A and B are shown apart, each in its own frame.
Chain A
């Protein structure tokens, strides 16, 4: 393994031209830039769900836990609660984070758990042969929807703002610099930061589909109401930070400045307290 490139020696099995490569480049750029800013790579820990997005866990050379499909947001929260000094990056997918793991994503936002979820949105269950996902537009001709999908997709931006996320942005795997900068902002943000990354899965979607539609927000909305309104009305290819606010994070509400792993109570102290509790 070579630390400098932040790449492991695992064989990369994403399709040629996959949008995941853009995300992979951006996260490595972001980690290098964060190191210049004083955030050491060893303090960054990742987790990932299951799906094409999650393969990044094998490729990116930082520590982490390759979780189950949809459970990565819960894993991330457990990592953070145990040791709040760690900065957690959770790689998720549209099916992973808004299908199987929807409850965990919503509650991470509700609690303002301090970690970053990067949700690779390829609008399809790619690894399982192209079924429609929670972010797929109506009319998708997939193997599970032979007459075309008829469920409307979630709007990830408004959904996350409403649920309580305190940093909500959309990026595009084809705009690597913008993505890199947004990832840095998200990791630096204290609280639950969510980035939806539009990411073409080439067997299913052409880059041109994205390139011709991409546009940027003119300005960052100032209030939650404005952010919700912008998020609801914006085109699904609209990029930018939709919402950012400061709110007390979960672990501080839970135990203040304590750190369960670094400030462990000694065995003797524990036993003394237990003795007192067990006094008749």
Chain B
């Protein structure tokens, strides 16, 4: 042992190490022949990889490297501020497009490269292009709800006596306030601006009733949770993302969901400001929102294509399972990202207070 240690710490070795570290740390410019795309990981990224990244790479003979990230906007912000942008295209939630644009973190989209004409209204922003639409829907254990109860699903959800058992809810006020208001009778057309006081009254009533009935409210964060909680009988009802519920169904889980009163939202492509491969990134976005990759992707995972041609090219039995299918879309309402970007700070304070106000 002594021998090993003294051999390791000879002057020469230490100097060598120092030199090695210094050379290794010399900042290298990012490789120029590679498009780097950050997305949310898991099955969705694999679908993106096969239907969008790889076909784009081989059609343009460039390398595409993709990596999972956790929606960390802080990282994008720091990269842009330091003028050291490593990601060329990022898959983000809607609020990132709004807030990122306000903060000057994003490159404007060049709509002479991206063909706007086929994209559904609302999916083209000055700083972002929609990828696919998904819907926040009520999911339930198969057989737990009758057809009548599915007509007004959120009312059923918040009515403790209608269905007995635990409920799941996301630990995030976005969309939870919306469904509380819908359950209380606010028409979906006049949802925004949200009546926040009223929503919290509904939520408090619901929480008290649940406690009285001795049903737990299970708070979850990741969208992978709702199907799991339902499958494990941890909850009987919970909101969830339609795609994940459908995946679990395919896997044989005895769970179901309804399009009624769903809340539709989009995922977006954005380009961080200062990307070295802005033009290539723009071409990628144009490719990813063209009909073929869109159709290929939503065949694999049931999200709604933003390209209308992709939707009309799909067979009826595939199209009817997507949130942007006209028959489904008419039952749903749209999530208002702008309103939330303006009000999230205020509502979060109240939400946290409300969450922490349970008696122990």
A, B: real partners = no
B-side residues, CB < 8 A to A, are none
A-side residues, CB < 8 A to B, are none
